[in-house]
Amino acid sequence: MPATHISIERPHRRIARRSLASALLLCAMGVAAEQPSAPLPSPLTLGQALALADEPHPELDVARADIDRARARVQEQESRQGTRAYLDLIPEWVNPSTGGGGTNDSRARILLSKQLTDFGRTRSLESAAEDEVAGRELAFLDARQRRRLEIMARFFDTLLADLRYAVDNEEMAHRYVNYDKVRERHALGQVSEVELLDYENRYRESLITRTESQKRQSSARLRLAHALNRPDQLPGELIAPKLTVLDREIPDYKALSEDARKVNPVVAAQRKDTDAARATLNAERARSRPTLNAELEAAEYERTLSGRNDFRAGLSLRVPLYQGGEVDAAVARAAADLSVREARLRKVEHDLQQTVLDAVQELETLKVRREAAKQRVAFRDLYLDRARAIYEMEVQTSLGDAMVRLTEAQWLAAQADYQLALAWARIEALTGKLVEPSTQEKKP
């Protein structure tokens, strides 16, 4: 009768090198994932929106699952040198060659086995798994940064959509007033049909533009709702932030590039992946090394024989002699994977250097654009004051147009401010810093 094996495995668990803060955050986010989403505040501030960045979101869920999978691999590798306990139950009936009829030769035994050493292979596999965990935690940090940048961008887009609607609505109202005046003069025979149609056409075009602008408001709000993982809650009123970063000094490119090279989470994650691939290669090379195991066995037999032992303890050394090219294939595969990881690391380092340069140059351009936008607002404000004064003196004036141009100048100024704030947030992300709500807005 074939033997029945019941195996119980109790691997030794060693505390891996992990970030306590990351573990606590993942736990908190896991609990939050089980809770229904609270309604969005109304009106909504930038700080309140950014405070939702670490709430459950598909992008964060994927990154968190990658960490869990990497940690499971650590446990898997740690179990290789854990103690294993086996219970063998072997019911058996035999007919001895010495005659005398059938005999019950059933037996039961407990076997304890522990790998003492495989001369470095398991340690290399554990190191590779731990590096993978560290890499996935850094990738999770990058995902959290990208969530914040996405929320900021969508929040600013919505504010700008509202301001653009104000410009187009002001333009439409101005053209309607002009058209209405011309229509009255046409009724008195003072204006030709062609001129009337020209003014009406201008008004109709501005109405189309205003309608499209209104649609962009809804579209921007939906994108913001998706960024906040509230697709069923379109944000209502948004409060324009008083940004704290607009007057910062532009950083030195070389210093910023060196800082980013050291702490950028994407580059750091790729370094960890490269280290993991290197450790895996060392582990594959160690496949041909021997393994030393310790074994303890206790047995109970139905039939007593002089050559049987109820208890046994021993060591076993298994030395691989020939593995049919399996080791060479595994080493070649691991070496190729290491080459790929090293190439990716060089690429992300080069990309980061270019990204930092682009970011610094963008800051310089946006600084100039912001100053020009502020000057434009000041000019349009003074121009509107003059237009009001002329209007009060009942002289022909372009008061309506002046109001449109001022509203447009305010929209351009806000656009410059928001682009500059977003550029600074990207700089912080490049240097491994999380964009915190408290650092973005001035306290009221």
Tell me the HSE value of 422 on the side-chain side, using a 13 A CA sphere: 19
Backbone angles phi, psi at 198, to 5 degrees: -65, -45
Compute the mean pLDDT over every residue in the chain, rounded to the nearest whole number.
Answer: 84
Three-state secondary structure readout of 44-75 = ECHHHHHCCCCCCCHHHHHHHHHHHHHHHHHH
Q: What percent of the chain has pLDDT over 90?
A: 49
Distance (Å, rounded) from C-alpha 326 to C-alpha 133?
A: 28
Confidence at residue 105, expressed as pLDDT on a 0 to 100 scale: 81
Mean of the pLDDT values across residues 220-249?
91
Confidence at residue 20, expressed as pLDDT on a 0 to 100 scale: 38
Distance (Å, rounded) from C-alpha 158 to C-alpha 167?
A: 14
Tell me the HSE value of 118 on the side-chain side, using a 13 A CA sphere: 21
What pTM did the predictor assign?
0.79
Distance (Å, rounded) from C-alpha 303 to C-alpha 96?
A: 12
Q: Please name the residue that has the structure tokens 């994932």.
A: 33
Q: Please give the angle made by the CA atoms of 136, 141 and 147, to the nearest 5 degrees.
A: 125
Confidence at residue 2, expressed as pLDDT on a 0 to 100 scale: 38
Confidence at residue 362, expressed as pLDDT on a 0 to 100 scale: 93
Does the pLDDT value for residue 49 go beyond 90? yes
Mean of the pLDDT values across residues 285-293?
91
Q: What are the CA-CA distances from residue 28 to residues 54, 60, 145, 435 (Å)?
A: 10, 13, 18, 19
- What secondary structure letter does DSSP report for 243? B
Confidence at residue 422, expressed as pLDDT on a 0 to 100 scale: 93
Domains of the chain with bracketed CATH: 11-84+119-289+342-439 (1.20.1600.10)
Q: In the structure encoding, which two tokens stand for residue 3, read together?
A: 């033997």
Q: Please name the residue that has the structure tokens 């003196």.
A: 393
Confidence at residue 8, expressed as pLDDT on a 0 to 100 scale: 33
CB 430 within 8 A of CB 265: no
Confidence at residue 383, expressed as pLDDT on a 0 to 100 scale: 61
Q: In the structure encoding, which two tokens stand for residue 183, read together?
A: 């229509």
- What secondary structure letter does DSSP report for 239? P
Print burial letters for 55-66: b (CB count within 10 Å at least 16), e (below 16). bbbeebeebbeb
395 or 385, higher pLDDT: 385
Confidence at residue 377, expressed as pLDDT on a 0 to 100 scale: 73
Contacts with 353 (C-beta within 8 Å, 6 or more apart), sequence order: 257, 261
Contacts with 262 (C-beta within 8 Å, 6 or more apart), sequence order: none
Does the pLDDT value for residue 13 go beyond 50? no
Distance (Å, rounded) from C-alpha 403 to C-alpha 387?
A: 9
Does the pLDDT value for residue 409 go beyond 90? no
SS3 category, 278: helix
Confidence at residue 279, expressed as pLDDT on a 0 to 100 scale: 95
Per-residue confidence band for 1, with pLDDT thresholds at 50, 70 and 90: very low
- Give the distance between the most distant pair of CA atoms in the chain: 136
Mean of the pLDDT values across residues 51-61?
90
Confidence at residue 82, expressed as pLDDT on a 0 to 100 scale: 84
Distance (Å, rounded) from C-alpha 101 to C-alpha 276?
A: 62
From the list 221, 226, 209, the residue with the least C-alpha distance to 162 is 221
160 or 381, higher pLDDT: 160
CB 167 within 8 A of CB 408: yes
CB 252 within 8 A of CB 242: no
Confidence at residue 9, expressed as pLDDT on a 0 to 100 scale: 38
Confidence at residue 11, expressed as pLDDT on a 0 to 100 scale: 34
Cis peptide before 235 (omega within 30 of 0): no
Q: How many CB atoms lie within 10 A of CB 43?
A: 11
Amino acid in the structure at residue 432 = G
Distance (Å, rounded) from C-alpha 213 to C-alpha 220?
A: 10
Q: What are the CA-CA distances from residue 23 to residues 20, 224, 271, 429 (Å)?
A: 5, 28, 21, 21
Q: In the structure encoding, which two tokens stand for residue 100, read together?
A: 């005398």
Burial class (CB in 10 A: 0-12, 13-18, 19+), 262: exposed
100 or 94, higher pLDDT: 94
